[in-house]
Amino acid sequence: MNAQTQSSAPILSVEHVAVHFGGLVAISDMSFEVHEGELVSLIGPNGAGKTTAFNVITGFQRPTKGHVSFQGTSLDGLKPHEVTGLGLVRTFQRTSVFEKISVFENVLIGLHRRTAPSLFGTLMGLPGERKAEAALREEAWEILRLVGIEHEADELGGSLPYGDQRLLGVALALAADPRALLLDEPVSGMNASETGRFIDLLNRLRAKGTTILLVEHDMPMVMKISDRIVVLNYGRIIANGTPSEIQNDPEVIAAYLGGGVKNA
């Protein structure tokens, strides 16, 4: 990450967010920023509040207090589809692909969701609509090539190996044309080979300038891929820094039961 990226205004800003469920405090006071082009990982032990944080940022959970803004626009009170419409797009822990249609059709549906074609033009096959459809199909191929599953374009979404289904989930997120991508435990359940392919994808996305906020338990991956790491524990941020800073932070090491984040 260059100095210009760090000094620029943040693309995502989380300010003093708290989430209470009755008497339970899921997040007590969370503030952090993500700058354009960064890959920031949000980590912490189970129950630390990571998924709750993702849910707040993307409109699935209203905070008890605090504010979230994206590209200078407040996300307070927005519904998930409205947050997505602003270019802040997330994936989920569980795969969410269309199982009974082809991989290519999965991505094409994702692309159609962000367009508003003329029903009359589509039915009549007007030249403008045919040209737009051809452009969408080419974009679908570009996305499949980017995530590395173009060779499975004709396979049913539900028939793919687990790791490739996770890649297809990212392809669907990319079809929404995100300015920032939020990935919720993307390599959970993957083997070493599948995780390696996913790291390669993250590097390709970073090369394209995609901003990424990642929640993940795979610490070797997090340490290898992140520009910065934000550590949550018991609903509060206990550290925010580079991988080397996080690895040697005493409070982080204590949060991971004394084993150290290197081996967590």
Q: What are the sequence ranges of the domains in the chain?
A: 3-94+179-255, 98-159
Residue 45: pLDDT over 90:
no
Residue among 97, 22, 52, 64 nearest 234 (CA) = 52
Residue 255 neighbours by CB under 8 Å, 6+ apart: 44, 45, 231, 233, 238
pLDDT tier for residue 112 given thresholds of 50, 70 and 90 = confident
Does 3.40.50.10330 match the CATH number of domain 3-94+179-255? no
pTM of the model: 0.85
pLDDT tier for residue 116 given thresholds of 50, 70 and 90 = low
Average pLDDT over residues 115-128: 53
- What Rg, from alpha-carbon coordinates, does the chain have? 19
Residue 124: pLDDT over 90:
no
* 95: exposed, middle or buried (Cβ count in 10 Å: 0-12, 13-18, 19+): buried
How many C-beta atoms surround the C-beta of residue 129 within 10 A? 17
DSSP 206-246: HHTT-EEEEE-S-HHHHHHH-SEEEEEETTEEEEEE-HHHH
Per-residue pLDDT tens over the stretch 88-98: 999 876 667 88
Report the distance separating Cα 65 and Cα 154, nearest Å.
47
| Residue-averaged pLDDT of the chain | 86
